[in-house]
Amino acid sequence: MADHLDVRRGVYHDSVSLLQVSRRVADVDGVDKALVAMATELNLDVLASMGFAVPDAGPNDLLVAIRTDDDAVLEAARAEVDAALAASQGTGSAGFGDAPPPRTVAAAVRAGDVDLALVSVPGEHAFVEAMDAVRAGVSVMVFSDNVPVEQEVALKTAAAEQGVLVMGPDAGTAIVSGVGLGFANVVRPGPVGIVAASGTGAQQLTCLLDDAGIGTSHVLGVGGRDLSAAVGGRSTQQAMAALDADPATEVVVVLSKPADPTVAAEVRRVAEHLDTPVVFALLGPDAPDLTAAAAEVATALGREAGEPAQWPAPTDRPGPYTELRGLFAGGTLRDEAMVIAAAALEAPVRSNIPLADDLALTDGLDTPGHVFVDLGEDEFTLGRPHPMIDQRLRLERLAAEAARPGGRVVLLDVVLGHGAHPDPAAELAPAIADAIASGEDLAVVVSLCGTVGDPQDRDRQAAALVEAGASVHLSNAAAARTAVQLAGGRA
């Protein structure tokens, strides 16, 4: 083997670049050993340890040591040195691009100028991310469900100290200054500010108001547990105060599930001290339905609600049908329809979330008689998206209902707006037409929650569903009453 040693006087490259150059040269086929380095004391020792004769050179000189027997290889190796040294100068075009995206809400809000965090990570991780926002003085909407109640309390207590709002956990819907978060409809701006413990309830109310020409300032979701004894209405009170101070809001609606009596009393006491009038819209067996609540809100504003939009079925179907089958995607809409049905029908109304323990389903979705199921419950959504996004389960169920003997009326809800299926009627209408054509005797009633402004276009959706043979109602309560009537119930 022959050693070839060049000393390039006064040529400087940094040691890191040269380590790379050395490696490239050593990798040339036929090169036994190579060292390209500044002639520092350390590198001269390294050179000696590799068996090269040590030249007279100093730290400002570049050593190029190559061991090979082949002149052609030597030539190639020297060319590689020059190429590698030239390459190590760089082109100045390296990526100076954007910062990598933040991995936590804490890092995202640190940049500043953030008003709200929308957290929809799996429930067990939601608290940590939401707390990042609250501690930074930023309001947060927690869409995630399965958040333990003690975490909800901790989050809302911290939020009260920081003067920010926690929406949720399990808040499906919010509209903040016209921006829809989670599942929300495109509604006109206006004077009604809503504090909502129910996402689909808030969607129904805003859509009914929009249909009546009444706009919404904000919808602040608070989560279904907010008015429980444990949570104590913390977010409801915070949201009421915020809407009271908001110049755009002329009337506040508190849309609540049945509340703990002490908490409800406290919330009502707070309401009395606000400058803005408060309308309580309560959900549950003894409360007026959301359509009645919308009328009450209109009255509070000195307006007239009028009759909510409806689109009759193309063929008159007098009934009566023996069974009423409610296949719902929205929990609150199902609750409301089931309460109306249970009050008007003689036979029992069964459900996966029954009004009484003895009204549970006896044979799953095939339970005979009047049945109201919430297909958005965990038992049906395991392994697939929520039915507001993915309609496959409802399509299958429609076909199964049509295959059952005897006459029946099927009641469906279709929820439009941001986050929902982009064109539900495109899938549902053919399935409804098929069910009506193949079923022994079947009527379909649709509760259509949406606005003309929604990306799916409410009126186009209604027209397609009617063409398929359904009757369509903007008011969920009206849809329920129509279905009840078809099932022979008291009108």
Partner 1 sequence: MTTETSPLARLLSAEPTIVTAGVELFETSLRDQGVAPVPVDWRPPAGAAADLARIAADPRTADANATALERITAAEPHWVGITTARDAVGIETGQFLHAGPPITWERASGPLRGALIGAMLYEGMADTPEQAIAIAERGELELAPCHSRAAVGPMAGVVSPSMPMFAVENGAFGNRAYCTLNEGLGKVLRYGAYGPEVIERLQWMQQVLAPAMDAAVGRLGSLDLRALIVQALQMGDELHNRNRAASALFVREVVPPLLEAGIDPSELADVVRFINGNEHFFLNLGMPAGKAAVDPARDLPGCTVVVAMARNGTDFGIQVSGTGDRWFTGPAQVPDGLFLGDYGPEDANPDIGDSTITETSGVGGFAMAAAPAIVRFVGGEVGDALTATRTMYDLALGEHPHYQIPILEFRGTPVGIDATRVVRTGIVPAVNTGIAGREAGVGQVGAGLVEPPMEAFVQAVAALAAS
Question: Of residues 12-31, which lie at the interface with partner 1 (CB under 8 A)?
Answer: 14, 16-17, 19-20, 23
Q: Give the residue among 152, 189, 157 at the shortest CA–CA distance from 171.
A: 152
Q: Using CB under 8 A, which of 345, 455, 463, 467 touches partner 1?
A: 455
Q: Which residues contact 116 (CB under 8 A, 6 or more apart)?
A: 133, 138, 139, 140, 141, 176, 181
Per-residue string for binding with partner 1, 51-90, x by CB under 8 A?
A: -------------------------------------x-x
Footprint of partner 1 on residues 281-320 (CB under 8 A)? none
Q: Using CB under 8 A, which of 223, 387, 407, 419 touches partner 1?
A: 419
Q: 244 with 236: CB under 8 angstroms?
A: no
Of the pair 181, 472, the CB lying nearest partner 1 is at 181
Footprint of partner 1 on residues 137-176 (CB under 8 A)? 137-139, 143-144, 151, 154, 162-165, 176
Q: Give the shortest CB-109-to-partner 1 separation in angstroms.
A: 6
Footprint of partner 1 on residues 214-233 (CB under 8 A)? 217-218
Interaction of residue 269 with partner 1, rule CB under 8 A: no
Strand partners, 412: 327, 446
Q: Using CB under 8 A, which of 58, 122, 277, 312 touches partner 1?
A: 122
Q: Give the residue among 390, 433, 389 at the shortest CA–CA distance from 410.
A: 433
Read off the tokens for 168: 């949720």
What is d(CA 193, CA 174) in angstroms, rounded to the nearest whole number? 11
Q: Using CB under 8 A, which of 27, 70, 82, 115 touches partner 1?
A: 115
Place of tokens 């008291």: 490
What is d(CA 463, CA 454) in angstroms, rounded to the nearest whole number? 15
Interaction of residue 381 with partner 1, rule CB under 8 A: no
End-to-end, the C-alpha distance of the chain in Å comes to 106
Q: Using CB under 8 A, which of 5, 7, 50, 353 touches partner 1?
A: 50
Q: Which residues contact 380 (CB under 8 A, 6 or more apart)?
A: 373, 387, 393
Counting other chains too, the contacts that 40-46 makes at CB distance below 8 Å and 24 or more residues apart are none
Interacting stretch for partner 1, rule CB under 8 A, among 3-11, 245-253, 331-339, 440-448?
Answer: 245-253
| Alpha-carbon distances, residue 158 vs 149, 151, 185, 207, 321 (angstroms) | 14, 11, 30, 33, 54
Interaction of residue 4 with partner 1, rule CB under 8 A: no
Interaction of residue 109 with partner 1, rule CB under 8 A: yes
Of the pair 102, 306, the CB lying nearest partner 1 is at 102
Q: Give the shortest CB-151-to-partner 1 separation in angstroms.
A: 6
Of the pair 389, 452, the CB lying nearest partner 1 is at 389
